[in-house]
Amino acid sequence: MHVKRFSDVKAYDAPNHRACSSLRLFGAEAGGTKGLIAGVSHFLPGGGAGPDASPPEKVYFVLEGELTVIVNGKETVLKKHDSCVIEPNEHREIINRGNEVCTILVAVAMPPK
């Protein structure tokens, strides 16, 4: 088992994100797992990511606030404890259109090496 204390988690700059603070829990430079990357992202009002697409499958789980997810022109608002899967290479944009910080747990599948 690999335990990571939240006080020890390091921030990182997520590409194509704005008004966002991202923390890497596991995977990539944070270590502890080889098959996925897990992180927590805090989006200020008006913050978001994309539009873009990437090969890895992603899961977003809303911990606090609300997040608008736009996929293929269709908008869906995720509220606290809602989640979604973004398929590989699916074009998406996410935006915090609310007036409170939106916090999400993000899991990104990594291809086997």
Which pLDDT tens digit goes with each residue over 11-62? 999 999 999 999 999 999 899 998 999 999 999 999 999 999 999 999 999 9
**Alpha carbons 101 and 83: distance in angstroms, whole number:** 17
Share of residues in the chain with pLDDT > 90 (%)? 92
Residue type, 12: Y
The predicted pLDDT at position 58 comes to: 97
Choice between 2 and 102, residue whose per-residue pLDDT is larger: 102
Pick the CATH number of 10-109 from 3.40.50.1360, 1.20.120.1630, 2.40.50.140, 2.60.120.10: 2.60.120.10
pTM: 0.94
Which of 97, 99, 100, 93 is closest to 60 using CA atoms?
Answer: 93
Signed CA dihedral, 26, 106, 59, 48: sign only: negative
Can you give the residue ranges of every domain in the chain? 10-109
**Alpha carbons 6 and 63: distance in angstroms, whole number:** 15
Does pLDDT of 77 surpass 90? Answer: yes
Tell me how far the alpha carbon of residue 9 is from its chain's centroid.
15
